[in-house]
Amino acid sequence: MLVFSTEIACTTHECSPLEIRSSEAQVTEHNLAATIAEQQAIEHEALFRRSRIGRTRRALRESDELVAVVEEFRVRGHSMLPRWLWDAVAQFLWRTDRTFLGALGRERSVENVGSVLFLVQQALMNRSVEEQERGTRGTIIPFPLQTRPPVLG
C-alpha cells in the first residue's frame, strides 16, 4: 500500500524511479528501527516481570504440572508411577518442603504420590496467603548499623 501511494504521488509530480526507491528505503528503515526498539522494550520489561514471581508461586506452578502428570497416569489406569516421575516428585519435595518426604516414602503408587502432592499444594497455598498478607516476599534483614571511630586530628 505504501508503494501504491508513492506511485500515485509520483505520477502527479513526475518522480524518477531513483526517488521512489529512496523514499521507500527511508520508510522501511524507519519502520524497522521502530520495530526493533519496540521489541527491545518488550524484552526489557519481560526481564523484570519474570523476576517478580516469588518462590512460592513458582513452586505452586511446578506442583500443578506434577499433579497433572500424576493424574494422567491415574486416568490411564496405572497403579504405579515410573521411576523418573517419582524421582521428579521427590526432588520437588526436597527443594520445597522436606517434611513431606516421609509421607512420600518409597511407595510409587499413584494414590500415595497424588495425595502427598495435594498436601504440599495446600501448604504452599497457605504460605502464599501468608506472604501476601505480610506484603513482602520474605523476611527483610536490616543492615547492621556501622559506627565509625571518631577522626582525630
pLDDT digits (tens, 9 = 90+) for 54-96: 788 888 999 999 999 999 999 999 989 999 999 999 999 999 8
Query: pLDDT at residue 47 above 60?
Result: yes
> Which residue is it, cell 529512496?
22
Q: Is 1 helix (H, G, I), strand (E, B) or coil?
A: coil
pLDDT top residue among 53 and 109: 109
Task: Determine the pLDDT at residue 6.
Answer: 45
Please check whether residue 121 is in contact with residue 89, taking contact to mean a CB–CB distance below 8 angstroms.
no
Task: Determine the pLDDT at residue 33.
Answer: 82
Task: Determine the pLDDT at residue 146.
Answer: 63
Listed in sequence order, the residues at least 6 apart from 10 whose beta carbon sits closer than 8 Å to its beta carbon are: 19, 20
Query: pLDDT at residue 113 above 70?
Result: yes
